[in-house]
């Protein structure tokens, strides 16, 4: 079973992806219904000195522009941008997927936008981001899956783990919509299963240790 509660927070039985002391150059975060509050907890706690770039996919209405950057900009120390095709990633910067485009990572890593068919009825899709990031970044990748109401992200998270990356899943009990993390837990055993506040503590620990 995946780590939960105190065991997951203290890391008494860490998975291989969590135990190796290496630097994460890229963080990918995915969520859907109920994920904005958890995302706010994470992004608002991270310092401008973060050594990694962050790419975020949240399921949004296709017909409306994303307001995520405007919502988080006054509250975050990190630089925030809307993702653009062929844009290279920069440390300490958060890139938000635009509505109705898949976001992928290519070698570099560099952002790529796609209008391929929706995955799990979603474009952008978390699986598409996570799987491409696993190919591009390997064990330098950290993937975080948050609250949501469908199974998008479970397959991609498994791909990240298979490539040697680290995996975090929001604990279902802390989610407004637990279907998405539960789908991931039914498929694989992530390195950590944590509520958002405990995720923040772990990310800050990695930052202090120059891993993030």
Asked if residue 85 lies in contact with residue 114, where contact means CB atoms within 8 angstroms, the answer is no
Work out the burial of residue 186: count CB atoms within 10 Å of its CB; fewer than 13 is exposed, 13-18 middle, 19 or more buried: exposed
Options 32, 35, 171, 178, the catalytic residue: 32
Distances (CA, A) of 208 to 46, 49, 169, 170, 204: 11, 10, 21, 22, 6
32 is catalytic: yes
Copy the structure tokens of residue 193.
Answer: 């299963």
Asked if residue 153 lies in contact with residue 30, where contact means CB atoms within 8 angstroms, the answer is yes
Copy the structure tokens of residue 8.
Answer: 């997951």
How many Å apart are CA 176 and CA 196, to the nearest integer? 12
Distances (CA, A) of 187 to 31, 97, 138, 177, 190: 17, 25, 20, 18, 9
Options 120, 127, 132, 152, the catalytic residue: 152
Options 35, 59, 139, 171, the catalytic residue: 59
Give every CB contact of residue 124 below 8 A, 6+ residues apart in sequence. 57, 59, 60, 97, 98, 99, 100, 101, 102, 103
Catalytic residue annotation: 32, 59, 152
């Amino acid at each position: 079973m995946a780590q939960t509660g105190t065991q997951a927070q203290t890391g008494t039985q860490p998975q291989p992806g969590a135990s190796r002391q290496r630097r994460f150059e890229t963080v990918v975060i995915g969520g859907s219904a109920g994920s904005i509050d958890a995302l706010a907890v994470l992004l608002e706690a991270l310092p401008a000195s973060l050594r990694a770039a962050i790419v975020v996919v949240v399921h949004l209405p296709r017909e409306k522009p994303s307001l995520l950057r405007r919502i988080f900009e006054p509250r975050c120390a990190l630089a925030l941008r809307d993702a653009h095709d062929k844009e290279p990633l920069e440390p300490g910067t958060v890139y938000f997927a635009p509505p109705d485009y898949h976001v992928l990572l290519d070698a570099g890593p560099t952002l790529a936008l796609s209008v391929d068919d929706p995955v799990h009825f979603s474009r952008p899709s978390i699986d598409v981001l996570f799987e491409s990031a696993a190919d591009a970044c390997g064990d330098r990748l950290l993937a975080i899956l948050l609250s949501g109401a469908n199974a998008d992200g479970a397959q991609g998270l498994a791909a990240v783990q298979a490539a040697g990356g680290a995996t975090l899943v929001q604990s279902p009990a802390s989610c407004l919509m637990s279907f998405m993390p539960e789908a991931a837990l039914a498929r694989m055993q992530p390195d950590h299963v944590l509520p958002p506040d405990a995720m923040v503590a772990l990310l800050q620990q990695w930052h202090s240790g120059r891993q993030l």
